[in-house]
């Protein structure tokens, strides 16, 4: 990495948690300079404007989340185990997600929809990557006949994502992990009763 690339990565990694907890719109350039110890000139020497910082930090946060989830899924062999690994991943992360800023995808989606429209394509891309991964697992389960045939894989993938993100939202709002755990229990029940052969 060049010095410029290292500085850019430093800014992204140093501010990632701040953006997710404080908010992408509210986090100011002064917040960034205070946290990184860099000048405004140095920030804008690596990014064209705050919108670019926001987009790159979101991509970093989303990628970090997806890689952690993929690691949990990849360790399992069967499609059934992989779906359950996603549930277990969010159950294990539940308390951290609720207490430390919430899900970066959900947070950014809310802000992008309201006032950071430039961020929406990156947010949509992250959700679609997640949905595509779930569809792949479901289709593999159909192929090896461990799952029922002719599943509406897109519907199930979307439902799982909605339940997880809705559970996180309600848990964050109520400052308790019960709603997320309820959502995860529901996903497990759907897997057992509607998907497994």
Q: Average pLDDT of each block of 10 consecutive residues along the chain (197 residues)? A: 91 94 92 95 92 96 94 96 97 72 89 90 97 98 98 98 95 89 97 97
* Cα 79 to Cα 139: distance, rounded to the nearest angstrom: 9
Please give the full DSSP string across 89-152, using - where no structure is assigned: HHHHHHHHHHHTT--HHHHHHHHHHHT-GGGHHHHHHHHHHHHHHHHHHHHHHHHTTSB-TT--
Domain 55-195 belongs to what topology? Tetracycline Repressor; domain 2 (1.10.357)
Q: Report yes or no on whether pTM surpasses 0.75.
A: yes
Q: What is the pLDDT of residue 5?
A: 92
Q: What is the pLDDT of residue 146?
A: 98
Q: What is the pLDDT of residue 23?
A: 92
């Amino acid at each position: 990495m060049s010095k410029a690339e290292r500085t850019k990565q430093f800014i992204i990694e140093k501010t990632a948690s701040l953006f997710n907890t404080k908010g992408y719109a509210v986090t100011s350039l002064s917040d960034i300079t205070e946290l990184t110890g860099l000048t405004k000139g140095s920030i804008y020497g690596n990014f064209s404007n705050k919108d670019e910082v926001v987009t790159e930090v979101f991509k970093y946060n989303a990628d970090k989340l997806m890689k952690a989830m993929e690691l949990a899924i990849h360790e399992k062999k069967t499609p059934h185990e992989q779906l359950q690994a996603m549930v277990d991943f969010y159950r294990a992360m539940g308390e951290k997600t609720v207490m430390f800023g919430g899900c970066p995808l959900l947070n950014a989606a809310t802000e992008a929809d309201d006032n950071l429209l430039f961020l929406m394509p990156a947010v949509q891309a992250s959700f679609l990557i997640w949905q595509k991964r779930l569809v792949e697992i479901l289709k593999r389960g159909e192929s090896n006949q461990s799952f029922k045939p002719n599943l509406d894989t897109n519907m199930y993938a979307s439902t799982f994502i909605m339940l997880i993100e809705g559970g996180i939202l309600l848990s964050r709002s109520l400052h308790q992990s019960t709603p997320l755990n309820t959502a995860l229990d529901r996903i497990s029940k759907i897997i057992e009763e509607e998907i497994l052969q």
